[in-house]
Amino acid sequence: MAQRVLVTGGAGYIGSHACKVLKRAGFEPVTFDNLSTGWEQAVKFGPLARGDLMDRASIDAALETWKPVAVMHFAALSLVGESMRDPGTYWRVNVTGALNLLEATVAAGVKNFVFSSTCATYGDQDGVVLDEDTPQRPINAYGASKRAIEEMVANFGAAFGLNHTIFRYFNVAGADPEGEVGEQHDPETHLIPLMLDAVAGRRPALTVFGTDYPTRDGTCIRDYVHVMDLAQAHVLGLNRLLDGGPNRVFCLGTGRGFSVREVIEQSRAVTNREVPILFGDRRSGDAAALVCGSERAVRELGWEPELSTLPHMIADAWRWHRAPKFHE
């Protein structure tokens, strides 16, 4: 029988792609999700255990029913701007949810934990290419809540022998090239899907948030990683834990950043259409540039982020964008 993995947030964007790759690797992914931001139709690769991380009993019940060998924790509130407007909710949901999950995981005797963290834990680092040893200085409540969870995970590792892998990454893009799952948020706040909405005439224009950053063209620079490459890294990290590998943090990026203007430029090349744009103010909580290297993941996990080029990510996102979506 396939080994089961409890995937919190498995109905969401990254979680659903992780479920696909887990299944392909021979695991049975069990999605634990409250469907607050995820889609039931995205749960295609294994069962759905509907529950809520704020409800400890629902976590205990899922662990008891499915007896996973590992927990992969994606479920969280993840919008930088929203976290600045409503920090209390971010702290409450992200930190309490993770705490409940960690306690339930230990109580159920599950020994392996993979945590989806973020380069937003680093804050603004002045053009430095981030790596695992860069000091973490978050500048928004989202990043601060994730850093706190990283520490919780490490504490549970030390106290209870919970083996763990932590991944830090930032701008995930693209979609399953086979079109089974893709990115869909409601409301959408991310650059590439919003840009494609504007290209397709689903919204009047894309607003570029800030043109006065200290970057090469004044717009923010981000490191974009293909969602399937990211999912693959999670499976590699899981396998390493199951093989008895040590607790480790891995940054997942390409080491190359693209500005908002450069992303828009690439979109023109991929879609052959103009992107209607407006120029707006900076968005609160945004760092000027976030780029992270992934030498450790390449070296220790054998990670090969082969789909993570901007044309590939935009092309996959564009294909998904034009296909039927989950709620239509």
| Catalytic annotation, residues | 142
Q: Which of 284, 287, 154 is nearest to 213 (CA)?
A: 287
Answer yes or no: are the C-beta atoms of 8 and 101 closer than 8 Å: yes
Task: Among 260, 270, 301, 314, indicate the residue that binds ligand UDP (CB under 6 A).
Answer: 260
Q: Is the dihedral of CA 44, 50, 52, 58 positive or negative?
A: negative
- Closer CB to ligand UDP, 25 or 291, in the complex: 291
User: Could you give the dihedral angle defined by the CA atoms of residues 84, 75, 251 and 175, in that order, rounded to the nearest 10 degrees?
Assistant: -100
Judged on CB neighbours under 10 Å (0-12, 13-18, 19+), 160 is middle
198 binds ligand UDP (CB under 6 A): no
Q: How far apart are CA 170 and CA 243, in angstroms?
A: 27
- Closer CB to ligand UDP, 5 or 206, in the complex: 206
37 binds ligand UDP (CB under 6 A): no
296 binds ligand UDP (CB under 6 A): no
Task: Among 286, 301, 303, 310, indicate the residue that binds ligand UDP (CB under 6 A).
Answer: 286
- Closer CB to ligand UDP, 259 or 294, in the complex: 259
3-class secondary-structure state, position 149:
helix
Stretch that binds ligand UDP, among 129-137, 189-197, 236-244, 293-301 (CB under 6 A): 189-197
Residue whose pair of structure tokens reads 């409301």 in the numeric block = 187
Stretch that binds ligand UDP, among 62-70, 144-152, 186-194, 302-310 (CB under 6 A): 186-194
194 binds ligand UDP (CB under 6 A): yes
211 binds ligand UDP (CB under 6 A): no
7 binds ligand UDP (CB under 6 A): no
Q: Which of 125, 30, 117, 35 is nearest to 78 (CA)?
A: 117
Q: Which of 203, 227, 291, 236 is nearest to 14 (CA)?
A: 227
Task: Among 185, 283, 319, 325, indicate the residue that binds ligand UDP (CB under 6 A).
Answer: 283
220 binds ligand UDP (CB under 6 A): yes
43 binds ligand UDP (CB under 6 A): no
320 binds ligand UDP (CB under 6 A): no
For ligand UDP, the nearest residue by Cβ is 220
Q: Which of 174, 310, 317 is nearest to 254 (CA)?
A: 310
User: E-strand spans in 94-240?
Assistant: 112-118, 129-130, 163-169, 171-173, 206-209, 221-222, 224-226
User: Tell me, what DSSP letter sits at residue 58?
Assistant: H
Task: Among 25, 191, 264, 317, indicate the residue that binds ligand UDP (CB under 6 A).
Answer: 191
Stretch that binds ligand UDP, among 144-152, 175-183, 206-214, 267-275 (CB under 6 A): 206-214
Q: Where do contacts with ligand UDP occur on this chain (CB under 6 A)? A: 80, 170-171, 189-191, 194, 206-209, 220, 222, 260, 283, 286
